[in-house]
Structure 1
Amino acid sequence: MGRRLPGVVLAAVAVAALAAGCAGAGSAGGADPDGEITVGLQFPPRAAYAFEADDGARLQSLGVAETLTTVDDQARPAPGLATSWEQTADPRTWRFVLRPGVTFHDGTPLTPDAVVTALGYVAGVTAPPRAIRDIGFSVAADGADAVLITTAAPDPIMPMRMSSGNLGILAPTAYSGGGQPQVLRTGTGPYVLDTVNGTDSAVLLRNDAYWGPKAGAARVTVRYLPDPQTRALGLQSGDLQFAEGLPGAAVEQVRSAGADVAEYPAARTVELLMSQSTLFGDVRLRQAVTAAIDRPTLAAQVLAGAAAPASELFGAAVPWGATTPPPGADLARAKALLAEAGHGPDRPLTARLWTFPNRPEMPVLATAIGSMLEQAGIRVELTVGDYAAQEPDLLAGRFDLFLNSRSYLSDYADAASTLTSDYTCGGSYNLEHYCSPAYDALIQRLAETSDTAQRQALFAEAARLLTTDAVGVMVVHPRNTAGSRGVTGFVPDPLGVRPILPSLTRSAT
């Protein structure tokens, strides 16, 4: 099975190069480093930028708050506010050495006590971020330049966990008032969060005291625009200089208006789940469904190229993902497998197919998939409904087919969480009720594997095993889009970890 394409590797390397020094490089060659830009982002803060509500990741993407670590182009832990780390003689404890000379936006220095205050707060909330939930997390200062992070059991991926945007470090003054931390002018990033207008907008100012490369624009107005067509129209009119998440139907119009549009992989899979508690306990039936679905056609025609056909759970967004396209439909094989399992024209298989409308591509894909299954002799009863209403039956396995859209990275660039929750025998989100001792034994090895390359090899092996066992049909991997007009410097980050705004520089007029 093919792995990551060279072009994707080069793009990821370009992202790393950008983080290392491109943010301030736009001052030459027709760029205006003192310019102001307006950007349209698709996801507003859900709870006034509260870290415990996943809004910390928004502060990270804005370039306001920073974490102890980040990730490099191969999804390995890389220095952030910590320059190095090591596991101590006690394997439950990691020591992180802090970057010298860092100051918060309020002028106070980054110290071990400041890190203890920040991480201690987020670990102590009612529902801590997933990256550190239920692991017995604690943090303590260790001398003048380091902190010790300890867990209840040895944790091989603590440096990766620390890259989660929900673990950003704010100044001690952010926590002095009690309650939710104050996020205005308390981060360390290349941008200062200066003003906030609820879920509508925010204003960022360049941090001229930043420890790394300076941000490309002096001022950024962030507009939160959930409607994708509004973002596209903003680019076309020139009201926006950058927008993410453009609708596929508007891409060519945006380009014709003079904007550059980047299309790049997303760490997400649209998957057709097959409940092994109802109709699909027989692997031949799961294989028949797989053979009946023409994934290349779904990606190229039904979604008009806004996704790549998926051959496995992981795609080109991650270094270990499969990039060789899956085969098209094989109706003869599908019908033969159905016949082997006791189904044919005289005894057709009837399956309920559920999905939800929250992502507009899902009903369209479900309709097309239903038509493909009908051609193979499987009768389909399609229901498009509210996910919240469906979830109790889904968790209990009381469904036949469910078309889902699932991110396969959870908060940081490691797939162990998804592989555990979705597919192990006791997984909390194992909707298909798949249970394989061989698969569980493979995933258990991750608990003792700290080397990133070895972990990624295990991720790929797990994906191949799921494919062999016909656990769901991995249908497509959606693509992200972003448009730029009047700015330079944007480089895609398929992992969604690095800040997206500091590299943007206004073009000189």
Structure 2
Amino acid sequence: MTLPARLRLTAATVLALTLSACSGGAAPADDTNGAIAVAMQFPPRSAYAFDADDGALLMTLGVAETLTTVDPSAQPAPGLATAWEQTADPKVWRFTLREGVTFHDGSPQTADAVVTALTHISTVTAPPRAVRDIGLTVTADGTNAVLIGTAAVDPVLPLRMSSGNLGILAPSAYAPGRQPTVTRTATGPYVLASVNGADSAVLERNDAYWGAKPAASTVTVRYVTDPQSRALALQSGDVQFAEGLPHAATGPVRAAGGEVTAYPAARTVELLLNQSAKPFDDLRVRQAVTAAIDRPTLAARVLRGAAAPAADLFGTAVPWGVRTPPPGADPAKAKDLLTQAGYGPDKPLTVRLWTFPNRPEMPVLATAVQSMLGEAGVKVEVTVGDYAAQEPKVLAGDFDMFLNSRSYLSDFADAASVLTSDYTCEGSYNIDHFCSAEFDSLVASLATTTDVTARQKVFTEAAAMLTDQAVGVMIVHPNNTAGTRGVTGFTPDPLGVRPVLPQLKPAG
């Protein structure tokens, strides 16, 4: 389709401005200073405020750090704390702090500094989800340890402390009545030296960092929300790293000498089925819908490889996810199940499918699902609308099918939160309106399961139960993508906790 001249001019103008911003005088990757430029897809939401989810961004940049981090097995690993243990009081954990850590303002990390940081973030008006409503308390235990308590026993407190929104800043960052200052107050391998609103930032290497120093001396961070503009900036060499590249850009980026890496994301696109009303209160109808949908085709052809077909709620981004791909469509099985449920030519089944356009793949998937269900004899009426308007209705059970995209990790690498909120009888986000005493009992066991490996076994069992009961159809797991040109060292992290920018090494 050819765009009108006015729209072509507008698009060209926007692209030119974006690329100009991306170049911004940044030194090329082989500059003697080792300076690089990067294009990130999500700008800070609220001036890098930790209570506005910007802490995770600061961790990605390599600026802020937390008491713990997470290893590839989703087990807690040392960060600014080197060890932790439950005390005689099971509601209190003792964290031993890493020695020799200094903040970017030159002050040392102490127990009192950690108390100040965690007390602040847990007592703001709207605390981050990781510490919301758990009654967090923090006290110093000598000069090099802190005691962190919760109102009830919390078996995953060490994992909870890896949440990006719980970064530790210097005492100088905090002053009554204002948001903490993140410029030159954190501990990471990069110093946040200057900020240009939500458009860009400049990072400088922290030569006093306690761990391995990053290779690039300076990083110019550009926030470029348009995926095609990020790809073009990488192709042209204006940036050496870009995240969130569209699938169509893979070939051009590689042709320009770059590399593109696709890797799993901890997210699932799910076709939610309202079990509180007909027809989906009948297991056979839910199973028929599952049988009619060709998930491998949706991933490989409809989304052109930008996702993996989903066999259950969890995918390969986490160690407890299913690795076996789901089967293709079986229209004959779907028709047979519908016949058993009382539907057929004389009594056709018509259902409504709602979704939203905020994620561009959602309307495309909805249309494909509509076609696949039509092959099984189900007429689907698709509505693409505003999510904010749809949410109250789906939560109230006033819908048939809802195509949703959901992250199944909430701030840290543990699935208890999403299993509780989305699938238990009293779950606050139980759109399927699924209710099972057996499932609730299984999830409730997590409250006293401290061992991370044992918890992951429960996650696997819970996901299998959802599959057996056809609690929604897990459609695909979208992939993350990242591109490099002129830098090496990028290692994908499906869990999204490893700092990205300190890995990058300028070529030459």
- The interval holding the TM-score normalised by the smaller chain is over 0.9
- Residue 107 of structure 1 corresponds to which residue in structure 2? 106
* Residues 33 and 218 in structure 1, CA contact (< 8 A), matched pair in contact too: no
* Residues 33 and 505 in structure 1, CA contact (< 8 A), matched pair in contact too: no
Mapped to 1, the partners of 2:56 and 2:239 lie a distance apart of 22
Mapped to 2, the partners of 1:173 and 1:326 lie a distance apart of 53
Cα distance per residue 1:78-133 (max 9 Å; x no partner): 00000000000000000000000000000000000000100000001111111111
1:32 and 1:74, CA in 2 relative to 1: closer, same or farther beyond 3 A? Answer: farther
Mapped to 2, the partners of 1:293 and 1:132 lie a distance apart of 39
Q: Is residue 2:305 matched to residue 1:302?
A: no
- Residue 390 of structure 1 corresponds to which residue in structure 2? 390
> What runs of 5+ residues in structure 2 fail to find an aligned partner?
1-28
What is the identity, as a one-letter code, of the residue corresponding to 1:265? Answer: P
Mapped to 2, the partners of 1:388 and 1:306 lie a distance apart of 26
- Residue 282 of structure 2 corresponds to which residue in structure 1? 282
- Residue 26 of structure 1 corresponds to which residue in structure 2? none
Mapped to 1, the partners of 2:196 and 2:394 lie a distance apart of 38
Helix, strand or coil at the partner of 2:45 = coil
Helix, strand or coil at the partner of 2:364 = helix
What is the identity, as a one-letter code, of the residue corresponding to 2:357? Answer: P
Q: Is residue 2:448 matched to residue 1:452?
A: no
What is the identity, as a one-letter code, of the residue corresponding to 1:155? Answer: D
Cα distance per residue 1:214-267 (max 9 Å; x no partner): 012000000001110010000111101000000011111111111111110000
Mapped to 2, the partners of 1:176 and 1:214 lie a distance apart of 30
- Residue 19 of structure 1 corresponds to which residue in structure 2? none
- Listed as ranges, the matches of 1:330-369 within 5 Å are 330-369=330-369
- Listed as ranges, the matches of 1:233-248 within 5 Å are 233-248=232-247
Mapped to 1, the partners of 2:395 and 2:505 lie a distance apart of 47
- Residue 87 of structure 1 corresponds to which residue in structure 2? 86
Cα distance per residue 1:336-377 (max 9 Å; x no partner): 110111100111111100111111111001000000001101
- Residue 44 of structure 2 corresponds to which residue in structure 1? 45
* Residues 33 and 217 in structure 1, CA contact (< 8 A), matched pair in contact too: no
Helix, strand or coil at the partner of 2:194 = strand
- Residue 415 of structure 2 corresponds to which residue in structure 1? 415
Helix, strand or coil at the partner of 1:502 = helix
1:33 and 1:62, CA in 2 relative to 1: closer, same or farther beyond 3 A? Answer: farther
Runs of 4+ in structure 1 displaced over 2 angstroms? 30-34
- Residue 8 of structure 2 corresponds to which residue in structure 1? none
- Residue 186 of structure 1 corresponds to which residue in structure 2? 185
* Residues 295 and 310 in structure 1, CA contact (< 8 A), matched pair in contact too: yes
Shift of 1:177: 5.3
Mapped to 2, the partners of 1:179 and 1:281 lie a distance apart of 51
- Listed as ranges, the matches of 1:44-443 within 5 Å are 44-176=43-175, 178-278=177-277, 279-443=279-443
* Residues 273 and 280 in structure 2, CA contact (< 8 A), matched pair in contact too: yes
Between 487-496 and 277-286, the greater mean CA deviation after superposition? 277-286
Shift of 1:34: 3.7
Cα distance per residue 1:125-174 (max 9 Å; x no partner): 11111111111111011111100001111110000000000000000000
Shift of 1:498: 1.0
Mapped to 1, the partners of 2:352 and 2:64 lie a distance apart of 45
Helix, strand or coil at the partner of 2:502 = coil
Mapped to 2, the partners of 1:308 and 1:158 lie a distance apart of 31
Helix, strand or coil at the partner of 1:253 = helix
Shift of 1:178: 3.4
* Residues 266 and 495 in structure 1, CA contact (< 8 A), matched pair in contact too: yes
Mapped to 2, the partners of 1:228 and 1:63 lie a distance apart of 23
Mapped to 1, the partners of 2:215 and 2:366 lie a distance apart of 43
* Residues 32 and 507 in structure 1, CA contact (< 8 A), matched pair in contact too: no
- Residue 4 of structure 1 corresponds to which residue in structure 2? none
What is the identity, as a one-letter code, of the residue corresponding to 1:321? Answer: G
Shift of 1:176: 2.7
Mapped to 2, the partners of 1:176 and 1:505 lie a distance apart of 37
Mapped to 1, the partners of 2:48 and 2:394 lie a distance apart of 31
Shift of 1:33: 8.2
What is the identity, as a one-letter code, of the residue corresponding to 1:70? Answer: T
Output the aligned Cα RMSD: 1.0
Q: Which structure exhibits the higher relative contact order, with contacts defined as CA atoms closer than 8 Å and separated by 6 or more residues? A: 1
- Residue 485 of structure 1 corresponds to which residue in structure 2? 485
Shift of 1:388: 0.5
- TM-score normalised by the chain length of structure 1: 0.93
Mapped to 2, the partners of 1:120 and 1:31 lie a distance apart of 43
What is the identity, as a one-letter code, of the residue corresponding to 1:309? Answer: P
What is the identity, as a one-letter code, of the residue corresponding to 1:303? Answer: L
Helix, strand or coil at the partner of 1:446 = helix
- Residue 503 of structure 1 corresponds to which residue in structure 2? 503
Mapped to 2, the partners of 1:428 and 1:470 lie a distance apart of 20
Shift of 1:482: 0.2
Shift of 1:31: 7.7
* Residues 30 and 486 in structure 2, CA contact (< 8 A), matched pair in contact too: no
Cα distance per residue 1:386-406 (max 9 Å; x no partner): 101101101112110011110
What is the identity, as a one-letter code, of the residue corresponding to 2:142? Answer: G
* Residues 33 and 216 in structure 1, CA contact (< 8 A), matched pair in contact too: no
* Residues 277 and 398 in structure 1, CA contact (< 8 A), matched pair in contact too: no
Mapped to 1, the partners of 2:30 and 2:461 lie a distance apart of 46
Shift of 1:196: 0.4
Shift of 1:440: 0.4
Mapped to 1, the partners of 2:306 and 2:147 lie a distance apart of 44
Mapped to 1, the partners of 2:410 and 2:275 lie a distance apart of 25
What is the identity, as a one-letter code, of the residue corresponding to 2:339? Answer: A
* Residues 421 and 427 in structure 2, CA contact (< 8 A), matched pair in contact too: yes
Helix, strand or coil at the partner of 2:129 = coil
Helix, strand or coil at the partner of 1:480 = strand
Mapped to 2, the partners of 1:407 and 1:431 lie a distance apart of 15
Helix, strand or coil at the partner of 1:131 = helix
* Residues 273 and 471 in structure 1, CA contact (< 8 A), matched pair in contact too: yes
What is the identity, as a one-letter code, of the residue corresponding to 1:439? Answer: F
